[in-house]
Homo-oligomer: A and B are copies of this chain.
Amino acid sequence: MDDYAGVDSSIAAQMPRWTAELIEFCSIPSEGGDRDALRTAQLWVSARLERLGCSVEVIGVDGAPSLVVAEIGDGPTVTCVQHYDVQPAAPLDLWLSPPYEPAVRDGRLIARGAEDNKGEFLARVWGLEAYLAAFGRLPCRVRFLVEGEEELGSPHLAGYLDRRPELRVADGALMEGGGVDDEGRPIVQCGIRGMLVAELAVRTIAHDAHSSFAALLPNAAIRMSQAIASLFDAEGRPSFDGLLDGIVPPTPEQIALVDALPDQLADSLLHAFEIERFVAGRKGSAAKRAAILEPTCNVSGLWSGYIAPGIMTITPAEAHARIDIRLVPDQDPDSVLVRLREHLESHGFGDVAVKTRNWGTRAYWSPSDAPIVLSAVRAAESVWGKRPSILVTDPGTAPMWDVCAEHGVAQADFGAATPASRAHAPNENIRLDHAEKVARTMVRFLDQVAASVRLTPS
Protein backbone atom coordinates (compact mmCIF):
# COMPACT_ATOMS: atom_id res chain seq x y z
CA MET A 1 0.00 0.00 0.00
CA ASP A 2 3.06 2.17 -0.34
CA ASP A 3 2.59 3.98 -3.57
CA TYR A 4 -0.79 4.40 -5.19
CA ALA A 5 0.20 7.55 -7.11
CA GLY A 6 -0.14 5.86 -10.48
CA VAL A 7 -3.48 4.30 -9.89
CA ASP A 8 -4.74 7.51 -8.26
CA SER A 9 -3.85 9.55 -11.31
CA SER A 10 -5.45 7.04 -13.65
CA ILE A 11 -8.61 7.29 -11.52
CA ALA A 12 -8.51 11.08 -11.80
CA ALA A 13 -8.12 10.77 -15.56
CA GLN A 14 -11.11 8.48 -15.86
CA MET A 15 -13.51 10.63 -13.78
CA PRO A 16 -15.08 12.49 -16.72
CA ARG A 17 -15.95 9.22 -18.46
CA TRP A 18 -17.17 7.63 -15.24
CA THR A 19 -19.27 10.69 -14.42
CA ALA A 20 -21.02 10.31 -17.76
CA GLU A 21 -21.63 6.67 -16.89
CA LEU A 22 -23.17 7.61 -13.53
CA ILE A 23 -25.39 10.15 -15.29
CA GLU A 24 -26.60 7.40 -17.60
CA PHE A 25 -27.33 5.05 -14.69
CA CYS A 26 -29.14 7.77 -12.69
CA SER A 27 -31.35 8.57 -15.69
CA ILE A 28 -33.17 5.27 -15.14
CA PRO A 29 -36.11 6.02 -12.80
CA SER A 30 -35.85 2.70 -10.98
CA GLU A 31 -38.30 3.45 -8.19
CA GLY A 32 -39.95 0.55 -6.38
CA GLY A 33 -43.02 -0.48 -8.32
CA ASP A 34 -41.75 0.70 -11.70
CA ARG A 35 -41.17 -2.77 -13.16
CA ASP A 36 -39.91 -1.55 -16.50
CA ALA A 37 -37.38 0.87 -15.05
CA LEU A 38 -36.21 -1.71 -12.51
CA ARG A 39 -35.68 -4.21 -15.32
CA THR A 40 -33.74 -1.60 -17.31
CA ALA A 41 -31.58 -0.83 -14.28
CA GLN A 42 -30.94 -4.53 -13.64
CA LEU A 43 -29.80 -5.07 -17.25
CA TRP A 44 -27.59 -1.98 -16.96
CA VAL A 45 -25.93 -3.36 -13.81
CA SER A 46 -25.41 -6.81 -15.35
CA ALA A 47 -23.83 -5.30 -18.46
CA ARG A 48 -21.59 -3.01 -16.41
CA LEU A 49 -20.28 -5.83 -14.24
CA GLU A 50 -19.69 -8.04 -17.28
CA ARG A 51 -17.71 -5.20 -18.80
CA LEU A 52 -15.62 -5.07 -15.61
CA GLY A 53 -14.79 -8.73 -16.17
CA CYS A 54 -17.09 -10.38 -13.68
CA SER A 55 -18.90 -13.63 -14.14
CA VAL A 56 -22.51 -12.48 -13.84
CA GLU A 57 -25.60 -14.40 -12.90
CA VAL A 58 -29.17 -13.24 -12.34
CA ILE A 59 -31.46 -14.81 -9.76
CA GLY A 60 -35.15 -13.95 -9.81
CA VAL A 61 -38.74 -14.94 -9.29
CA ASP A 62 -41.74 -13.94 -11.33
CA GLY A 63 -42.99 -10.48 -10.60
CA ALA A 64 -40.05 -9.25 -8.51
CA PRO A 65 -36.86 -7.44 -9.49
CA SER A 66 -33.96 -9.84 -9.90
CA LEU A 67 -30.74 -10.08 -7.92
CA VAL A 68 -27.53 -9.57 -9.88
CA VAL A 69 -24.70 -11.77 -8.58
CA ALA A 70 -21.27 -10.99 -9.97
CA GLU A 71 -17.85 -12.29 -8.98
CA ILE A 72 -14.32 -11.42 -9.97
CA GLY A 73 -10.88 -12.35 -8.63
CA ASP A 74 -9.55 -15.04 -6.32
CA GLY A 75 -8.57 -15.24 -2.70
CA PRO A 76 -10.39 -14.03 0.39
CA THR A 77 -13.92 -13.06 -0.53
CA VAL A 78 -15.61 -9.74 0.14
CA THR A 79 -19.31 -9.40 -0.61
CA CYS A 80 -20.47 -5.92 -1.66
CA VAL A 81 -24.18 -5.57 -0.92
CA GLN A 82 -25.63 -2.94 -3.29
CA HIS A 83 -28.94 -2.07 -4.91
CA TYR A 84 -30.21 -0.57 -8.15
CA ASP A 85 -33.65 0.52 -6.94
CA VAL A 86 -34.12 4.04 -5.58
CA GLN A 87 -36.48 5.85 -3.22
CA PRO A 88 -39.44 7.64 -4.85
CA ALA A 89 -38.47 11.12 -5.99
CA ALA A 90 -41.52 12.74 -4.38
CA PRO A 91 -42.10 15.59 -3.65
CA LEU A 92 -41.10 16.57 -7.16
CA ASP A 93 -41.69 20.29 -6.74
CA LEU A 94 -38.78 20.60 -4.32
CA TRP A 95 -36.19 19.40 -6.86
CA LEU A 96 -34.11 22.14 -8.44
CA SER A 97 -33.65 19.93 -11.52
CA PRO A 98 -35.72 16.87 -12.52
CA PRO A 99 -34.70 13.84 -10.42
CA TYR A 100 -34.03 11.62 -13.45
CA GLU A 101 -32.27 14.25 -15.53
CA PRO A 102 -28.98 14.26 -13.62
CA ALA A 103 -27.34 17.66 -13.36
CA VAL A 104 -23.80 18.53 -12.29
CA ARG A 105 -23.51 21.69 -10.21
CA ASP A 106 -20.71 22.85 -7.95
CA GLY A 107 -18.96 19.49 -8.25
CA ARG A 108 -22.06 17.55 -7.27
CA LEU A 109 -24.09 15.19 -9.40
CA ILE A 110 -27.73 15.75 -8.48
CA ALA A 111 -30.27 12.99 -9.15
CA ARG A 112 -32.40 10.47 -7.32
CA GLY A 113 -30.05 7.59 -6.58
CA ALA A 114 -26.89 9.65 -7.17
CA GLU A 115 -25.68 8.71 -3.71
CA ASP A 116 -28.07 5.94 -2.60
CA ASN A 117 -26.94 3.64 -4.10
CA LYS A 118 -25.95 4.12 -7.74
CA GLY A 119 -23.03 6.46 -7.01
CA GLU A 120 -21.64 4.40 -4.13
CA PHE A 121 -21.95 1.22 -6.18
CA LEU A 122 -20.23 2.63 -9.25
CA ALA A 123 -17.42 4.25 -7.26
CA ARG A 124 -16.50 0.78 -5.98
CA VAL A 125 -16.66 -0.60 -9.51
CA TRP A 126 -14.36 2.21 -10.62
CA GLY A 127 -11.87 1.25 -7.90
CA LEU A 128 -11.84 -2.33 -9.16
CA GLU A 129 -11.46 -1.19 -12.76
CA ALA A 130 -8.54 1.02 -11.79
CA TYR A 131 -6.94 -1.78 -9.78
CA LEU A 132 -7.23 -4.17 -12.72
CA ALA A 133 -5.81 -1.60 -15.13
CA ALA A 134 -2.86 -0.91 -12.85
CA PHE A 135 -2.08 -4.37 -11.52
CA GLY A 136 -3.74 -6.80 -13.94
CA ARG A 137 -5.67 -8.85 -11.35
CA LEU A 138 -7.41 -8.38 -8.01
CA PRO A 139 -5.68 -9.52 -4.80
CA CYS A 140 -8.93 -11.02 -3.50
CA ARG A 141 -12.36 -12.11 -4.72
CA VAL A 142 -15.08 -9.50 -4.86
CA ARG A 143 -18.69 -10.61 -5.01
CA PHE A 144 -21.43 -8.11 -5.83
CA LEU A 145 -24.98 -8.76 -4.72
CA VAL A 146 -26.99 -6.00 -6.40
CA GLU A 147 -30.70 -6.21 -5.65
CA GLY A 148 -33.72 -4.18 -6.80
CA GLU A 149 -35.88 -4.11 -3.69
CA GLU A 150 -33.65 -2.65 -1.01
CA GLU A 151 -35.80 0.42 -0.49
CA LEU A 152 -38.79 -1.86 0.11
CA GLY A 153 -36.94 -3.84 2.76
CA SER A 154 -35.47 -6.59 0.52
CA PRO A 155 -38.50 -8.89 0.62
CA HIS A 156 -36.98 -11.49 -1.74
CA LEU A 157 -33.25 -11.33 -1.01
CA ALA A 158 -33.21 -13.98 1.74
CA GLY A 159 -35.19 -16.33 -0.50
CA TYR A 160 -32.74 -15.82 -3.36
CA LEU A 161 -29.81 -16.59 -1.07
CA ASP A 162 -31.57 -19.63 0.36
CA ARG A 163 -31.52 -21.03 -3.20
CA ARG A 164 -27.75 -20.39 -3.42
CA PRO A 165 -26.45 -20.81 0.14
CA GLU A 166 -22.80 -20.68 -0.98
CA LEU A 167 -23.33 -16.95 -1.70
CA ARG A 168 -23.52 -16.40 2.05
CA VAL A 169 -19.99 -17.74 2.55
CA ALA A 170 -17.49 -14.87 2.61
CA ASP A 171 -14.58 -13.39 4.58
CA GLY A 172 -16.24 -10.06 5.02
CA ALA A 173 -18.89 -7.83 3.60
CA LEU A 174 -19.16 -4.21 2.57
CA MET A 175 -22.44 -2.49 3.27
CA GLU A 176 -23.91 -0.44 0.44
CA GLY A 177 -22.21 2.89 1.13
CA GLY A 178 -20.81 5.15 3.77
CA GLY A 179 -19.63 8.65 4.29
CA VAL A 180 -17.59 11.41 5.82
CA ASP A 181 -18.48 14.07 8.33
CA ASP A 182 -18.59 17.82 7.72
CA GLU A 183 -14.87 18.05 8.46
CA GLY A 184 -13.89 15.42 5.91
CA ARG A 185 -13.29 12.72 8.51
CA PRO A 186 -14.32 9.33 7.15
CA ILE A 187 -16.88 7.27 9.03
CA VAL A 188 -16.57 3.50 9.00
CA GLN A 189 -19.66 1.69 10.17
CA CYS A 190 -19.64 -1.91 11.35
CA GLY A 191 -23.34 -2.47 11.95
CA ILE A 192 -26.73 -1.87 10.46
CA ARG A 193 -30.12 -1.42 12.07
CA GLY A 194 -33.09 -3.56 11.17
CA MET A 195 -36.48 -2.23 10.21
CA LEU A 196 -40.12 -3.07 10.40
CA VAL A 197 -42.50 -1.18 8.11
CA ALA A 198 -46.17 -1.31 9.00
CA GLU A 199 -49.30 0.35 7.70
CA LEU A 200 -52.02 1.39 10.10
CA ALA A 201 -55.56 1.73 8.81
CA VAL A 202 -58.83 2.51 10.50
CA ARG A 203 -62.37 2.73 9.14
CA THR A 204 -64.94 4.27 11.46
CA ILE A 205 -68.01 4.61 9.20
CA ALA A 206 -69.08 3.08 5.90
CA HIS A 207 -68.43 6.21 3.86
CA ASP A 208 -67.50 9.85 4.36
CA ALA A 209 -70.25 11.87 6.02
CA HIS A 210 -71.37 15.50 6.03
CA SER A 211 -69.56 16.90 9.03
CA SER A 212 -72.73 18.28 10.60
CA PHE A 213 -73.19 14.84 12.20
CA ALA A 214 -69.76 14.96 13.83
CA ALA A 215 -71.23 14.72 17.33
CA LEU A 216 -72.48 11.23 16.50
CA LEU A 217 -70.28 9.73 13.80
CA PRO A 218 -66.80 8.56 14.76
CA ASN A 219 -64.09 10.39 12.83
CA ALA A 220 -61.28 8.30 11.35
CA ALA A 221 -58.77 11.18 11.32
CA ILE A 222 -59.28 11.80 15.04
CA ARG A 223 -59.12 8.09 15.78
CA MET A 224 -55.84 7.68 13.90
CA SER A 225 -54.37 10.77 15.56
CA GLN A 226 -55.20 9.31 18.95
CA ALA A 227 -53.77 5.91 18.02
CA ILE A 228 -50.52 7.50 16.86
CA ALA A 229 -50.36 9.75 19.91
CA SER A 230 -50.65 6.63 22.10
CA LEU A 231 -47.35 5.35 20.68
CA PHE A 232 -45.26 8.34 21.78
CA ASP A 233 -44.55 10.36 24.89
CA ALA A 234 -45.17 14.10 25.00
CA GLU A 235 -41.66 14.76 23.69
CA GLY A 236 -42.20 12.56 20.65
CA ARG A 237 -40.14 9.59 21.86
CA PRO A 238 -41.63 6.17 21.06
CA SER A 239 -43.10 4.76 24.24
CA PHE A 240 -45.26 1.90 23.15
CA ASP A 241 -45.41 -1.16 25.33
CA GLY A 242 -42.91 -3.82 24.40
CA LEU A 243 -40.88 -1.82 21.89
CA LEU A 244 -37.75 -2.47 23.93
CA ASP A 245 -38.42 -6.20 24.43
CA GLY A 246 -35.59 -8.45 23.32
CA ILE A 247 -32.96 -5.75 23.05
CA VAL A 248 -29.44 -6.83 23.95
CA PRO A 249 -27.90 -3.86 25.80
CA PRO A 250 -24.90 -2.43 23.96
CA THR A 251 -21.52 -3.45 25.32
CA PRO A 252 -19.40 -0.96 27.28
CA GLU A 253 -17.07 -0.95 24.27
CA GLN A 254 -19.93 -0.02 21.92
CA ILE A 255 -21.07 2.74 24.27
CA ALA A 256 -17.51 4.02 24.46
CA LEU A 257 -17.27 4.07 20.67
CA VAL A 258 -20.48 6.10 20.47
CA ASP A 259 -19.41 8.52 23.17
CA ALA A 260 -16.08 8.97 21.39
CA LEU A 261 -17.77 10.24 18.24
CA PRO A 262 -17.41 13.97 17.67
CA ASP A 263 -20.51 15.78 18.98
CA GLN A 264 -20.35 17.65 15.74
CA LEU A 265 -21.59 14.51 13.94
CA ALA A 266 -25.00 14.93 15.54
CA ASP A 267 -24.89 18.69 15.77
CA SER A 268 -24.48 19.00 12.01
CA LEU A 269 -28.05 17.73 11.81
CA LEU A 270 -29.25 20.75 13.78
CA HIS A 271 -27.78 22.95 11.11
CA ALA A 272 -28.91 20.83 8.15
CA PHE A 273 -32.52 20.76 9.38
CA GLU A 274 -32.55 24.29 10.79
CA ILE A 275 -33.67 23.35 14.27
CA GLU A 276 -32.63 24.55 17.72
CA ARG A 277 -32.91 21.26 19.56
CA PHE A 278 -33.34 17.55 19.03
CA VAL A 279 -36.29 15.47 20.17
CA ALA A 280 -36.55 15.63 23.95
CA GLY A 281 -33.72 18.14 24.05
CA ARG A 282 -31.11 15.42 23.59
CA LYS A 283 -27.53 16.66 23.32
CA GLY A 284 -24.00 15.36 23.34
CA SER A 285 -23.70 11.72 24.39
CA ALA A 286 -27.44 11.43 24.94
CA ALA A 287 -28.07 12.49 21.34
CA LYS A 288 -25.38 10.20 19.94
CA ARG A 289 -26.53 7.20 21.96
CA ALA A 290 -30.18 7.77 21.02
CA ALA A 291 -29.37 8.13 17.34
CA ILE A 292 -27.24 5.01 17.17
CA LEU A 293 -28.10 2.58 19.95
CA GLU A 294 -31.88 2.95 20.34
CA PRO A 295 -34.71 1.69 18.17
CA THR A 296 -36.86 4.36 16.52
CA CYS A 297 -40.51 4.60 15.69
CA ASN A 298 -41.19 6.97 12.82
CA VAL A 299 -44.41 8.03 11.07
CA SER A 300 -43.50 8.48 7.39
CA GLY A 301 -46.96 9.16 6.03
CA LEU A 302 -50.39 10.04 7.39
CA TRP A 303 -53.58 10.76 5.50
CA SER A 304 -57.31 10.99 5.99
CA GLY A 305 -60.27 12.80 4.45
CA TYR A 306 -60.18 15.61 1.95
CA ILE A 307 -56.65 16.84 1.36
CA ALA A 308 -56.89 18.65 -1.98
CA PRO A 309 -56.98 22.46 -2.11
CA GLY A 310 -60.23 24.01 -0.91
CA ILE A 311 -62.62 22.93 1.77
CA MET A 312 -64.81 19.87 2.03
CA THR A 313 -66.61 19.60 5.34
CA ILE A 314 -66.72 15.87 5.77
CA THR A 315 -66.21 13.41 8.56
CA PRO A 316 -63.66 10.99 7.03
CA ALA A 317 -64.51 7.29 7.03
CA GLU A 318 -60.91 6.13 6.71
CA ALA A 319 -57.46 7.11 7.92
CA HIS A 320 -54.06 5.65 7.12
CA ALA A 321 -50.55 5.91 8.48
CA ARG A 322 -47.21 4.35 7.62
CA ILE A 323 -44.73 3.60 10.35
CA ASP A 324 -41.13 2.47 10.17
CA ILE A 325 -39.42 1.10 13.23
CA ARG A 326 -35.62 0.84 13.15
CA LEU A 327 -34.45 -2.15 15.13
CA VAL A 328 -31.32 -2.91 17.13
CA PRO A 329 -29.93 -6.33 18.13
CA ASP A 330 -31.66 -8.69 18.84
CA GLN A 331 -35.12 -7.32 18.17
CA ASP A 332 -37.20 -9.61 16.02
CA PRO A 333 -39.40 -7.71 13.53
CA ASP A 334 -42.23 -10.23 13.89
CA SER A 335 -42.25 -9.85 17.66
CA VAL A 336 -42.19 -6.05 17.43
CA LEU A 337 -45.18 -6.23 15.09
CA VAL A 338 -47.03 -8.33 17.65
CA ARG A 339 -46.12 -5.84 20.40
CA LEU A 340 -47.39 -2.97 18.25
CA ARG A 341 -50.72 -4.73 17.70
CA GLU A 342 -50.96 -5.59 21.39
CA HIS A 343 -50.25 -2.02 22.39
CA LEU A 344 -53.00 -0.65 20.15
CA GLU A 345 -55.44 -3.31 21.33
CA SER A 346 -54.73 -2.73 25.02
CA HIS A 347 -55.02 1.04 24.60
CA GLY A 348 -58.47 0.79 23.08
CA PHE A 349 -57.45 0.89 19.42
CA GLY A 350 -58.38 -2.64 18.46
CA ASP A 351 -60.15 -1.13 15.45
CA VAL A 352 -56.83 0.10 14.03
CA ALA A 353 -55.55 -2.57 11.67
CA VAL A 354 -51.78 -3.12 11.45
CA LYS A 355 -50.51 -4.57 8.21
CA THR A 356 -47.07 -5.33 6.93
CA ARG A 357 -45.78 -6.86 3.72
CA ASN A 358 -42.79 -8.79 5.05
CA TRP A 359 -40.83 -5.59 5.37
CA GLY A 360 -39.01 -6.88 8.40
CA THR A 361 -35.22 -6.87 8.56
CA ARG A 362 -33.14 -7.63 11.64
CA ALA A 363 -30.24 -5.51 12.84
CA TYR A 364 -26.71 -6.91 12.43
CA TRP A 365 -23.76 -5.47 14.30
CA SER A 366 -20.18 -6.72 13.84
CA PRO A 367 -17.23 -6.31 16.21
CA SER A 368 -15.41 -3.06 15.58
CA ASP A 369 -12.07 -4.88 15.57
CA ALA A 370 -12.96 -7.38 12.87
CA PRO A 371 -10.31 -7.55 10.09
CA ILE A 372 -12.79 -6.27 7.50
CA VAL A 373 -13.46 -3.22 9.67
CA LEU A 374 -9.79 -2.56 10.20
CA SER A 375 -9.19 -2.91 6.45
CA ALA A 376 -11.81 -0.27 5.77
CA VAL A 377 -10.43 2.01 8.47
CA ARG A 378 -6.87 1.81 7.11
CA ALA A 379 -7.90 2.27 3.51
CA ALA A 380 -10.09 5.28 4.30
CA GLU A 381 -7.46 6.89 6.48
CA SER A 382 -4.90 6.53 3.72
CA VAL A 383 -7.09 8.42 1.25
CA TRP A 384 -8.77 11.04 3.46
CA GLY A 385 -5.76 11.69 5.69
CA LYS A 386 -7.82 11.57 8.88
CA ARG A 387 -8.41 8.83 11.39
CA PRO A 388 -11.92 7.52 10.68
CA SER A 389 -14.71 7.60 13.23
CA ILE A 390 -16.04 4.11 13.88
CA LEU A 391 -19.80 3.83 14.14
CA VAL A 392 -21.29 0.86 15.96
CA THR A 393 -24.07 0.92 13.42
CA ASP A 394 -25.32 2.80 10.45
CA PRO A 395 -28.50 4.49 11.70
CA GLY A 396 -30.23 3.18 8.54
CA THR A 397 -31.19 -0.25 7.35
CA ALA A 398 -29.92 -2.78 4.87
CA PRO A 399 -30.36 -6.55 4.58
CA MET A 400 -27.00 -7.43 6.08
CA TRP A 401 -28.56 -9.95 8.49
CA ASP A 402 -29.85 -11.92 5.50
CA VAL A 403 -26.42 -11.91 3.87
CA CYS A 404 -24.07 -12.27 6.84
CA ALA A 405 -25.73 -13.73 9.92
CA GLU A 406 -25.70 -17.39 8.96
CA HIS A 407 -21.89 -17.62 8.89
CA GLY A 408 -21.15 -14.72 11.20
CA VAL A 409 -19.52 -12.76 8.39
CA ALA A 410 -18.29 -9.38 9.64
CA GLN A 411 -19.10 -6.18 7.77
CA ALA A 412 -17.87 -2.64 7.32
CA ASP A 413 -18.38 0.24 4.93
CA PHE A 414 -16.90 3.38 3.48
CA GLY A 415 -18.39 5.86 1.09
CA ALA A 416 -18.98 9.34 -0.26
CA ALA A 417 -22.03 10.63 1.62
CA THR A 418 -22.09 13.79 3.69
CA PRO A 419 -24.91 15.36 5.70
CA ALA A 420 -25.62 17.45 2.56
CA SER A 421 -26.12 14.40 0.32
CA ARG A 422 -29.89 14.34 0.96
CA ALA A 423 -30.38 10.63 0.59
CA HIS A 424 -34.12 9.87 0.35
CA ALA A 425 -34.86 13.59 -0.02
CA PRO A 426 -35.25 16.05 -2.91
CA ASN A 427 -31.98 17.10 -4.55
CA GLU A 428 -30.10 13.96 -3.55
CA ASN A 429 -26.54 14.35 -4.71
CA ILE A 430 -23.04 12.96 -4.60
CA ARG A 431 -19.85 14.99 -4.52
CA LEU A 432 -17.79 13.81 -7.48
CA ASP A 433 -14.52 14.41 -5.64
CA HIS A 434 -15.83 12.14 -2.89
CA ALA A 435 -16.80 9.47 -5.42
CA GLU A 436 -13.26 9.63 -6.74
CA LYS A 437 -11.95 9.15 -3.19
CA VAL A 438 -14.19 6.13 -2.76
CA ALA A 439 -12.64 4.57 -5.88
CA ARG A 440 -9.19 5.26 -4.43
CA THR A 441 -10.24 3.82 -1.06
CA MET A 442 -11.50 0.68 -2.80
CA VAL A 443 -8.09 0.12 -4.36
CA ARG A 444 -6.35 0.28 -0.98
CA PHE A 445 -9.11 -1.73 0.70
CA LEU A 446 -8.51 -4.67 -1.66
CA ASP A 447 -4.88 -4.85 -0.65
CA GLN A 448 -5.78 -4.57 3.04
CA VAL A 449 -8.24 -7.42 2.72
CA ALA A 450 -5.71 -9.57 0.90
CA ALA A 451 -3.17 -8.88 3.63
CA SER A 452 -5.30 -9.31 6.70
CA VAL A 453 -8.56 -11.10 6.09
CA ARG A 454 -8.85 -14.88 6.13
CA LEU A 455 -11.98 -15.87 7.91
CA THR A 456 -13.83 -18.17 5.60
CA PRO A 457 -14.20 -21.67 6.92
CA SER A 458 -12.15 -23.43 4.26
Contact = CB atoms under 8 A, between A and B. Distances in A.
B215 A299 contact: no
A333 to B, nearest CB: 14
B312 A269 contact: no
B193 A308 contact: no
A397 to B, nearest CB: 7
A362 to B, nearest CB: 16
A203 B258 CA distance: 30
Interface string A24-35: 000000011100
B314 A424 contact: yes
Nearest to A227: B225
Contact of A211 (B226, B290, B326): B326
Interface string A282-302: 100001001100101111111
A240 to B, nearest CB: 12
Interface in A58-93: 87-88, 90-91
A279 B348 CA distance: 14
A1 interface: no
Task: Report how many copies the assembly holds.
Answer: 2
Contacts of A326: 211-212, 214
Contacts of A307: 301-303, 307, 320
A311 B87 CA distance: 8
A449 interface: no
Interface string A182-204: 00000000000101010000001
Contacts of A87: 312-313
Contacts of A234: 226, 348
Contacts of A215: 237, 279, 282, 290-291, 294, 296
Interface residues of A, number: 94
A113 interface: no
Nearest to A209: B273
A342 interface: no
B313 A424 contact: yes
Contacts of A297: 214
Interface stretch (A134-142, A216-224, A379-387, A405-413): A216-224
Contact of A313 (B278, B300, B308, B394): B300
B275 A306 contact: no
A222 B279 CA distance: 12
Contacts of A197: 311, 313
A255 interface: no
A355 interface: no
Which of A90, A273, A302 has the largest number of chain B CB atoms within 10 A?
A302
Contacts of A195: 313
Contacts of A90: 306, 308, 312
A33 B309 contact: yes
Interface in A303-347: 303-317, 319-322, 324, 326
B299 A425 contact: no
A314 B425 contact: yes
Interface in A85-142: 87-88, 90-91, 94
Q: Which 5 A/B pairs are nearest by Cβ-Cβ distance?
A: A212-B395, A206-B274, A214-B298, A229-B229, A214-B296
Given A218-B278, A302-B319, 6 more contacts: A193-B212, A204-B275, A212-B396, A216-B290, A224-B225, A307-B320
23 contacts: A31-B310, A90-B306, A151-B313, A206-B272, A208-B426, A210-B396, A210-B424, A210-B425, A211-B324, A213-B291, A215-B237, A215-B290, A216-B287, A217-B278, A219-B298, A221-B302, A222-B228, A222-B229, A228-B229, A301-B305, A302-B316, A305-B322, A314-B424
